[in-house]
A and B are shown apart, each in its own frame.
Chain A
Amino acid sequence: MALENAAFVDGLVITNPTGSDSISQGDDHIRLIKKVLKATFPDADAAQSLFPPSGFCASLTAGSLANGSTDKMPFGTEDFDIKGEYDNSTYRFTPTVAGKYYIYHSLTVVSPYSVSQFGKVLQTMIKKNGAEFKTLALAIFPYNANNELGSSVSAFVESNGTDYWEPFAYQNSGSSVTTVGGVTSNFMAFRVA
């Protein structure tokens, strides 16, 4: 009788049972399959997906962020977009399946020399359906230093299938600042449950 001793799915032997095994041993195989399925997916009380079924990552092309204005950040380059739910012309993520999503927005700018910058902030935010959902005032502009400055915000959100999410940023340094593109500025999201 070819019945393996498996604890999880990867322990199952696909050639078992062999053709010469007795039909009466079939119930042992069925019990084994049930056992390893329940051991492998112990909390599966709903439909499960082994891979994130939804998500995207977009990057920014270097540009500028105006002083004193809350601006949608033009993340126009899609690194990937699993279900085509990110619109790289409106910079809007609209997950089409209701569920819980993780959303992340990071932005890097160049802090220019200016006496008026001290104590001024760079903020990144995520808006839900056009309204502010989460804001993080992370970065304080340095006094008289030409450094790169980054701010990021993330959120674990419930999205109903039509909600849309957008990346915004604000800075009040006194003049417009240059935004840094590439890997240091990203807008991304993926479905968690």
Chain B
Amino acid sequence: MAITANGLQQLGFEPRVDFDLRNNNDGQGAFIERWMSAQPQPSVADIEAADAVWVANWNSQEYARNRMQAYASIGDQLDMQYWDSVNDTTTWKDHVASVKAQFPKG
């Protein structure tokens, strides 16, 4: 575990606004180079705990990211809807249902 921007963001702080985080790639991990927020700087333990929450949230949204990648483009979906309305078919609905089935909500 280490200090991460994700953990700080989870606590409500914004990079480059409230803090500058830096990592020199020297094996020491990231450190807060500057703290600009008017609020006190959180402890490392608080940041690590917040990072764990962020990671859990991120992982819980994996299905949504996969779906975004699998859905056809907006243009293609509009085209499907148009031809569905003309031909009385369910191509668009089937496409959406297929992606949702392929990547179910965790």
Question: A interface vs B, CB < 8 Å?
Answer: 66-74, 90-91, 112-115, 144, 146, 168, 172, 175
Contact = CB atoms under 8 A, between A and B. Distances in A.
A146 B69 contact: yes
Contact of B21 (A68, A72, A114): A68
Given A74-B25, A91-B25, A175-B58, A68 B65 contact: no
Bin the interface of chain B by size.
Answer: 20 to 34
8 contacts: A68-B21, A69-B5, A70-B21, A70-B22, A72-B25, A72-B26, A115-B68, A172-B15
B39 interface: no
A172 B6 CA distance: 10
Given A113-B65, A113-B68, A68 B8 contact: yes
Nearest to B21: A69
B65 A70 contact: no
Contacts of A71: 22-23, 25, 30
Contacts of B24: 72
Contact of B15 (A68, A91, A114, A144): A68
Given A72-B24, A72-B25, A172-B15, A66 B68 contact: no
B58 A68 contact: no
Contact of A68 (B6, B26, B68, B69): B6
A164 to B, nearest CB: 12
Nearest to B31: A69
A144 B68 contact: yes
Interface in B1-40: 4-6, 8-9, 15-16, 20-26, 30, 33
Nearest to B67: A113
Nearest to A74: B25
B30 A69 contact: yes
A66 B5 contact: yes
A72 B24 CA distance: 5
Given A69-B23, A114-B68, 20 more contacts: A66-B4, A66-B30, A68-B4, A68-B21, A69-B5, A69-B15, A69-B30, A70-B20, A70-B21, A70-B23, A71-B22, A71-B23, A72-B23, A72-B25, A73-B25, A91-B25, A115-B64, A115-B68, A144-B68, A172-B16
